[in-house]
Structures are given as structure tokens and as C-alpha cells.
């Protein structure tokens, strides 16, 4: 367990600027969504913010296909749990997040396999 903590600390120290920019971008997108700044021209909804944050995670934090697939599995399990407890609205939203993260993971996997060839 200590080995994992040490490697996580090294990763955080290496990607500190990326983490700061990622968090700042997500906060700005949420604030722009709340203020409905782009409302007549571009709908910046929560789904758009989630998808853009997945792309930012790839670019700024170096997230790989494996991380995206793990995120998608977590959202799939969460959607199934919400469906079982009959919270259908949130289950639908979680399933949308599953598909978005699965799509990004699949795209990253295809790009990485293409580079190998």
C-alpha cells in the first residue's frame, strides 16, 4: 500500500500543472453553464462538460484507454445500481456518461493500436 502511495505522490508532483489547469477548466465550464453564458449560441450542458473533461484528462493528465475503460465500468455499475433502486432519471444520465467514457477509451485504444502498427 505504501508503494502505491509513493507512486501516486510521484505522479501528482509530475502532473501538478496539468491537474491545476484541468480543475480550473472544469470550474470555469461549470460556472459558464450556471450563468448560461453561451445559451443562445452553444449549449454548454453537464454532458458537454463531462465529455470535454474526459478529453482534457487525456491531454493534460495523460489518461490512457485503460483509465477510460475503468471510468466507464464504474459508471455502468453505478447506472445498474440506480436502475435497481428505481432512480431512472439518474440511471439514464449515468449510462450516458458510460457511453461517453467508453467512446473516448475506444478511440484512445484504436489510436494507440494504430501507432503500434
- Residue 51: what pLDDT? 93
Predicted local distance difference test score (pLDDT) of residue 117: 63
What is the C-alpha R_g of the chain? 16
Report helix, strand or coil for 39.
coil
**pLDDT of 3 above 70:** yes
Do 18 and 63 contact (CB within 8 A), yes or no? no
> Chain-wide mean pLDDT for the chain?
89
Tell me how long the chain is. 117
Which residue would you say has higher pLDDT here, 7 or 51?
Answer: 51
Summarised one tens digit per residue, pLDDT across range 59-101 is 998 889 999 999 999 999 999 999 999 999 999 999 999 999 9
CA distance 38 to 20: 24
Amino acid at each position: 500500500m505504501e508503494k502505491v502511495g509513493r507512486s501516486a505522490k510521484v505522479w501528482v508532483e509530475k502532473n501538478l500543472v496539468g491537474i491545476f489547469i484541468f480543475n480550473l477548466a472544469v470550474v470555469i465550464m461549470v460556472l459558464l453553464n450556471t450563468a448560461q453564458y453561451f445559451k443562445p449560441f452553444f449549449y454548454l450542458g453537464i454532458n458537454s462538460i463531462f465529455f470535454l473533461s474526459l478529453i482534457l484528462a487525456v491531454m493534460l493528465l495523460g489518461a490512457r484507454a485503460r483509465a477510460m475503460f475503468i471510468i466507464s465500468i464504474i459508471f455502468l455499475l453505478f447506472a445498474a445500481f440506480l436502475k435497481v433502486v428505481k432512480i431512472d432519471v439518474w440511471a439514464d444520465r449515468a449510462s450516458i456518461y458510460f457511453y461517453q467514457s467508453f467512446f473516448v477509451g475506444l478511440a484512445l485504444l484504436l489510436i494507440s493500436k494504430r501507432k503500434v502498427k
